[in-house]
Every structure is written in structure tokens, then in C-alpha cells.
């Protein structure tokens, strides 16, 4: 038997009789290539990979046996060296001294593997798991040639990490990681008073899996937090009833019944109907703005044709490196920045705006290119005028979209932005031609159609009122009255609920005290001693909670008016920090509800961008339930700063 065939891996493989370049697994009878018919050129890499992937226990035995053989060889080599030294002892004492020191200098210490339950092993396992999940890499990463070359050992090289199989990370460590992170998320969600949700539906490119997302938003102290709670697999047609059922299942799973304030969704009819009965919901405001612009501007035949022509010009340069190089030369001649033209995406109106804006910036260079090289037709002067008009109007909508898409954007900004956009559309400038006037009119009508119901929502009015940057600035007197009434109603109900809760707690405490003979020292410390001033102090502390209904409403109205009379905060102020240290703690419970929602479903879109990465070519065989867990982990591991 050759040296190569003495490898312990041959316990589990036989050479193929019909083809000497292949070996057959004794366990599952699958054949694998050895890379060559010539024994000296054959490699065992494929056999090892097969064992590690499909026969983990046998693979560990091979590793253990290989390690023992290596140790045996090292000892044998050392003995041969010592023997060589002893044979040469008779030559001279000096040469003997030199020879005997050589083994001590050159021999390597025996490498010992860290046990699987060792702290260092656990830390390395966790780091590899984090790498796979957060960077969305396939589990087979750990079986790649370069990865297995990593020297995961201590600085002296005496103790070493034992590499694990893909199966270990996929079936053992990932589920454990999921349970740990889920437990931390549950603890975090238990602290939330009110929760708003963003939800959307995503389908992978192969149309083999659809997911319904659920991202929770809530306020704790001076921060509004965002947590991915799930990406439910949809296995049936996306009817409104089926969507509602799955969304409600996720709400119940996390114990959020009665805590949902607002749901942000897309404007599809099935999503609208799904949320109608159980939840207050609004469409993604950024998506609604897109519908406004498409309806008012991009549906016009003249503008449609113009956009096609613009896309053709941009596409010419995007598909030709020589054309791009020549455009750069034209930009230099015109003294323009050497910026690339922007190709728009049909479903993103703001990308169309950026395309038009860049074309306007590079107008002279594009015209010069068309004159000198003549491979494409430039825009006519009237068409350039339309592009200029479009960009001048859409600038404000683009700015509004950016405001809505910021990570800390709040639902309270919606009414102010709608009001500001409408004011811009109503202003008539001296240089407005007939086309600009018509564009503004169309946009104004579309805005009123799309956002009329949104502006009438009392919850959005309250959110605007509670934003110290806006307060009543963008609400008329009637809307302020509606908002104040809604706010007082909520605060009154909250106070009644809190009093009921306190009463129940006190009753439970009394029962517990009466029936318990041994009360802990900690409980005694919490009990307040009787004092002469008890009646006064209790009356003072309960002034806000024990008044009659009308007195309470009057008190709350005074607090609200006092808050509204203060100057507005700067537009870039942190509203959550303001309310965390507010002089109006009476109103804070309402803030936890009405300022918990973002204005768009962008968080869901970001989640699905990650889903697209998970469903890459290397991972498209994942089951939906695993995608749900991987998405949950990919975001929430970072939320806890990798500490779990």
C-alpha cells in the first residue's frame, strides 16, 4: 500500500475498480474524483470535503487519527535524530555537544486542540457565526480552502482551534444563536409601551419564496429603536385575509396585542384591506409621493417621450467606454465637472430627477459630444427647457423624500411636508411659463387627492402637535382642536388605566402581606413609614390623578397650552431627547405612542435588500424559515453590538 493510501481517510473510501481516478464512499456509495489517474498526482481534498459535509462523525475520526499519526511521525523523527546524534558521539566531545543541541532547537512542540467547550473555542465559533450571518455568507465558507488555512491558534502555536463543519454552524450553532438573540429582543420589547410597525411583501427573483416583513419601532428613554421581529414566509396567494392572518400571528407571537399604534405599508389594495379591520395604517409616504409625481407629470405623453430620449442619451454612455472617454474630453473643454451621467430606475422617481438634474448640469458637454461625434441626437432647445422646468419643480419633492427617508424621521413630519409642498406649488413666480404653471396645478391636484385622507387623521395631527419643532404651526384652528381633544382623551384613558393598575398592585401587595408570615428585608425597605405628613404628601402627589373628570381635562388642557406657548425647537433638534427630559412629563405617555412611527416603509425595503443577498446564487436552496431567522439575526446582532 502506498503512503497516500495509508491515510486514515481510506477507512471510508475504496478505489473505483472501473476508474482509478475516482474513489467510492463506503457509507453512501457516492464516487468522487481524485484529480488524476496517476497516484502521485492524486489529491484527497474532495474526499475530505465529502466526509465533513455529509458524514461529520467519520470526519472527526479521520481528523483525530491523522493528528495521532502526525504526532507519531514527529516522535519517530525525533528518535531518529537522537539516534544519529548518539552514533556520532565517539568523534569528539565538541561535535557531540553541537549535535545534541540541534534537536532541542529545531523540534516543534506538540500541538493540542482546544476542547469544544473551551472559552476560546466558543469565542472563535461565535465570531465565525457572526461573520456568516451579518455579512450574509454561505455556511460552506468554513469548508473553503483559504478559510481552512487560517491559523486559529495561540501565539505560541501550542494549542489550536479545531475547525468545524458547515453542518455544525447550520444545524447547531445558528439555532442556538437565534434563541439567544430572540431572548434579548423579547426583553427589549417588554420595555416598550407602544409599538408602530412597518411591513411589506418581497418575492425572490426565482419566484420561489415570498416574505411578509414586520419591523417594530418604539421609544425607550431618549431613543426611537427599530427591531426586526420577523419575515414570515407566505405559502399561499397574497389575499388580504391571508396577509392579515400572518401579520396578526407575528403580533401575537411577540405579545403586542393592544400595543400597535400605526402600521406603515405599501399602497397595494391587498395590503390596504389586510390592515383595515384591526389596525390603523397608512401608506408609505415616500411611495405616495412617487404616485403623485407619476400621475401628475410622468403620465403626460410629451414628458414620457422626453424621458425616453433622456434615457437613450444616458444609456449610450453607460454602454460604451469610448463614448464615456470622449464625453470626459468634452467636459474638460466646457470646464465642467467630470461627472458620469445618471441612469434612472423606473420604479424610483427620485432617480429620474437625478438623471434630469445631471443632464442639465452637463448640457453643454452633451451638446458638444453630439455635434463632434454625432452618434446620438441631443435634446432640442424646447426639450432642454422642459428638463429645466421639471428639475426646478421636482427639487422640492426630492428634498421632501430625503427628509422622509432619514433613519430618525418621524411620522410627525408628514403634515408639515405636505403643507410646505402645497405652498410651493401655489406660489406663482414671474418667470413661470404656461408649462410650469400647468405642472404645478397638476401636482397640487394630485397632492390633494392622494393626501387628503392622511391630513384628516387625528393621530397624525397629534403627532405634529407633539413635535416640538412644529407644534401647531402647520395645523389650522379646527385641526388643533381635534388634536387637543384626541390627546386629552388618550391621556385621560391612560391615567384611568394607570390608577386601575396601581389599585390592583396595591391590593395584591396587601393580600401578599397579610398572608405571608416571613417578609423579606427588601420588601420591608420598600414600605414607607407612617408620618404626620402622609395625608398632605399623598394629596399633593395625587393632585393630577384624583381630580374629577372635568378637572383632569382642564388640567391637561392647561399643560398642553403651556407646552404650545413655548418657542419651537430648531428643525435639526432631537425631539426624543427633548421629551426624555421634558418639563411636561404629563404629556410623555402620549409621546411614546404618537411619535413612535416612521413616515415610510423604508426599513422594510432595507430588510428585503438583505433578503436578496441571502438568496444569492450560493444560498438559493435555503428554506424560507431559515431566511426568516437569518434576516432576524443579521439586523439584531448588530443592534446589540455583537454582545449576546
Candidate from 296-300, 441-445, 448-452, 506-510 with smallest mean pLDDT: 506-510
Please compute Rg for the chain using Cα positions. 35
Read off the C-alpha cell for 618: 450560493
Q: What mean pLDDT comes out for the span 604-609?
A: 66
**Cell numbers that stand for 43 in this block:** 489529491
| Three cell numbers, residue 13 | 473510501
Counting every residue, how long is the chain?
A: 644
- Neighbour-count burial for 64-79, b at 16+ CB within 10 Å, e otherwise: eeebeeeeeeeeeeee
What string of H, E and C letters represents the secondary structure of 450-490? HHHHHHCCHHHHHHHHHCCCCCCCCCCHHHHHHHHHHHHHH
- Interaxial angle between packed helices 624-639 and 602-614, expressed in degrees from 0 to 180 and rounded to the nearest 10: 120
pLDDT (average), residues 450-455: 92
| pLDDT band at residue 625 under the 50/70/90 scheme | low
- Considering only residues 472 and 524, tell me which one the structure prediction assigns the higher pLDDT: 472
CATH number for the domain running over 188-282+603-639:
3.30.420
| Residue 526 pLDDT | 41
- The stretch 429-457 carries a mean pLDDT of 89
Overall average pLDDT of the 145-155 stretch = 84
* Between residues 630 and 105, the one the model is more confident about: 630
Sketch the domain layout of the chain as residue ranges: 1-89, 188-282+603-639, 288-414
Q: In this structure, are residues 604 and 226 in contact, taking their beta carbons and an 8 Å threshold?
A: no
Whether residue 77 is predicted with pLDDT greater than 70 in this model: the reply is no
Q: What's the CA dihedral at 525, 530, 536, 540 to 10 degrees?
A: 20
Per the DSSP assignment, residues forming a β-bridge with 160 are: 113, 153
Range picked from 201-205, 351-355, 540-544, 609-613 for highest mean pLDDT: 351-355
What b/e readout covers 517-553, taking b as 16+ CB neighbours within 10 angstroms?
Answer: eeeeeeeeeeeeeeeeeeeeeeeeeeeeeeeeeeebb
Which has the minimum average pLDDT: 50-64, 251-265, 442-456?
Answer: 50-64
* Contact by Cβ (8 Å): 454, 264: no
More confident residue, 205 or 118: 118
Mean pLDDT of 457-476: 97
At residue 257, the pLDDT reads: 94
> β-strands 210-220, 223-234: how paired?
antiparallel
pLDDT band at 382 (very low <50, low <70, confident <90, very high): very high
> Which of 188, 193, 148, 141 has the alpha carbon at shortest distance from 169?
141
The fraction of the chain above a pLDDT of 90, given in percent, is: 57
Average pLDDT (606-618) is 59
Cα–Cα distances (Å) from 104 to 67, 88, 108, in that order, read 22, 17, 9
pLDDT-derived band of residue 515, with 50, 70 and 90 as boundaries? very low
Q: How far apart are the first and last CA of the chain?
A: 51
441, pLDDT greater than 70 = yes
Tell me the C-alpha to C-alpha distance, in Å, between residue 173 and each of 105, 128, 184, 307, 377. Answer: 41, 10, 17, 52, 60
DSSP output for 199-258: --EEE-TTSS-EEEEEEEEEEETTEEEEEEEEEEEE-S---HHHHHHHHHHHHHHTT-TT
Residue 390's nearest CA partner among 447, 431, 440 is 440
C-alpha cell at 114: 482546544
The Cα-based distances of 479 to 456, 462, 483 in angstroms read: 8, 9, 6
Confidence band (pLDDT; 50, 70, 90) for 166?
very high
Q: Phi and psi for 211 in degrees, rounded to 5? A: -125, 140
Angle, alpha carbons 412-414-417 (nearest 5°)? 120
Q: Of all helices (H) and strands (E), which one includes residue 590?
A: helix 585-594
User: Between 280 and 515, whose confidence is greater?
Assistant: 280
Residue 218 C-alpha cell reads as 418604539
pLDDT at 620: 52
* Distance between CA atoms of residues 461 and 476, nearest Å: 10
Residue 25: which pLDDT band, with cuts at 50, 70 and 90? confident
Residue 10 has pLDDT above 90, yes or no: no
| Percent of residues, the chain, with pLDDT higher than 70 | 80
Amino acid at each position: 500500500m502506498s503512503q497516500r493510501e495509508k491515510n486514515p481517510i481510506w477507512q471510508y473510501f475504496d478505489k473505483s475498480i472501473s476508474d482509478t481516478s475516482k474513489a467510492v464512499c463506503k457509507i453512501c456509495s457516492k464516487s468522487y474524483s481524485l484529480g488524476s489517474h496517476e497516484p502521485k498526482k492524486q489529491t484527497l481534498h474532495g474526499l475530505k470535503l465529502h466526509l465533513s459535509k455529509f458524514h461529520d462523525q467519520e470526519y472527526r475520526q479521520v481528523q483525530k487519527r491523522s493528528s495521532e499519526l502526525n504526532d507519531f511521525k514527529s516522535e519517530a523523527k525525533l528518535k531518529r535524530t537522537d539516534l544519529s546524534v548518539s552514533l556520532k558521539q565517539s568523534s569528539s566531545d565538541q561535535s557531540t555537544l553541537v549535535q545534541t543541541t540541534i534537536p532541542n532547537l529545531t523540534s516543534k512542540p506538540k500541538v493540542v486542540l482546544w476542547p469544544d467547550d473551551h472559552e476560546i473555542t466558543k469565542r472563535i465559533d461565535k465570531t465565525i457565526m457572526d461573520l456568516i450571518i451579518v455579512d450574509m455568507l454561505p455556511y460552506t465558507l468554513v469548508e473553503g480552502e483559504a478559510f481552512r488555512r487560517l491559523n486559529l491558534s495561540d501565539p505560541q502555536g501550542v494549542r489550536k482551534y479545531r475547525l468545524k463543519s458547515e453542518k455544525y454552524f447550520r444545524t447547531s450553532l445558528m439555532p442556538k444563536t437565534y434563541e439567544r438573540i430572540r431572548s434579548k429582543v423579547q426583553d427589549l420589547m417588554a420595555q416598550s409601551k407602544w409599538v408602530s410597525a412597518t411591513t411589506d411583501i418581497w418575492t425572490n427573483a426565482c419566484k420561489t419564496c415570498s416574505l411578509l416583513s414586520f419591523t417594530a419601532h418604539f421609544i425607550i428613554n431618549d431613543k426611537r429603536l427599530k427591531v426586526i421581529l420577523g419575515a414570515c414566509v407566505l405559502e399561499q396567494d397574497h389575499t388580504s385575509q391571508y396577509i392579515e392572518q400572518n401579520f396578526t400571528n407575528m403580533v401575537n407571537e411577540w405579545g403586542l396585542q393592544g400595543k400597535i399604534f400605526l402600521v406603515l405599508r405599501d399602497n397595494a389594495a391587498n395590503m390596504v384591506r389586510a390592515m383595515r379591520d384591526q389596525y390603523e395604517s397608512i401608506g408609505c409616504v415616500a411611495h405616495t409621493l412617487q404616485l403623485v409625481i407619476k400621475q401628475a407629470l410622468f403620465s403626460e405623453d410629451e414628458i414620457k417621450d422626453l424621458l425616453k430620449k433622456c434615457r437613450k442619451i444616458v444609456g449610450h454612455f453607460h454602454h460604451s467606454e469610448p463614448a464615456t472617454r470622449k464625453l470626459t474630453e468634452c467636459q474638460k473643454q466646457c470646464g465642467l465637472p467630470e461627472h458620469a451621467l445618471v441612469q434612472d430606475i423606473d420604479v424610483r422617481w427620485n432617480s429620474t430627477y437625478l438623471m434630469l438634474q445631471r443632464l442639465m448640469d452637463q448640457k453643454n458637454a452633451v451638446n458638444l459630444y453630439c455635434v463632434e461625434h454625432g452618434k446620438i441626437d441631443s435634446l432640442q432647445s424646447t426639450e432642454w427647457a422642459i428638463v429645466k422646468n421639471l428639475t426646478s419643480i421636482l427639487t422640492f419633492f426630492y428634498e421632501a423624500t430625503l427628509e422622509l427617508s432619514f433613519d430618525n424621521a418621524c411620522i410627525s413630519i408628514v403634515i408639515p411636508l405636505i403643507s410646505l409642498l402645497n405652498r410651493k406649488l401655489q406660489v406663482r413666480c414671474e418667470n413661470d411659463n404656461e408649462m410650469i404653471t400647468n405642472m404645478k396645478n397638476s401636482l397640487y391636484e394630485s397632492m390633494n387627492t392622494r393626501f387628503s385622507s392622511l391630513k384628516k387623521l387625528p393621530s397624525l395631527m397629534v403627532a405634529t402637535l407633539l413635535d416640538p419643532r412644529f407644534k401647531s404651526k402647520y395645523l389650522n384652528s379646527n385641526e388643533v382642536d381635534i388634536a387637543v381633544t384626541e390627546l386629552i382623551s388618550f391621556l385621560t384613558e391612560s391615567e384611568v388605566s394607570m390608577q386601575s393598575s396601581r389599585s390592583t398592585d396595591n391590593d395584591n401587595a396587601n393580600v401578599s402581606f397579610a398572608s405571608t408570615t416571613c417578609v423579606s428585608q427588601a420588601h420591608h425597605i420598600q414600605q414607607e413609614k407612617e408620618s404626620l405628613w402622609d395625608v398632605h404628601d399623598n394629596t399633593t402627589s395625587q393632585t393630577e390623578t384624583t381630580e374629577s373628570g372635568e378637572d383632569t381635562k382642564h388640567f391637561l388642557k392647561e399643560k398642553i397650552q403651556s407646552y404650545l406657548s413655548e418657542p419651537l425647537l430648531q428643525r435639526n433638534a432631537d425631539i426624543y431627547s427633548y421629551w426624555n427630559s421634558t418639563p411636561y412629563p404629563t404629556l410623555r405617555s402620549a409621546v411614546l405612542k404618537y411619535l413612535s412611527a416612521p413616515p415610510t416603509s423604508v426599513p422594510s425595503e432595507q430588510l428585503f435588500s438583505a433578503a436578496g443577498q441571502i438568496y444569492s446564487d450560493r444560498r438559493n436552496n435555503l428554506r424560507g424559515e431559515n431566511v426568516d431567522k437569518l434576516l432576524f439575526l443579521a439586523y439584531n446582532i448588530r443592534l446589540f453590538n455583537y454582545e449576546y
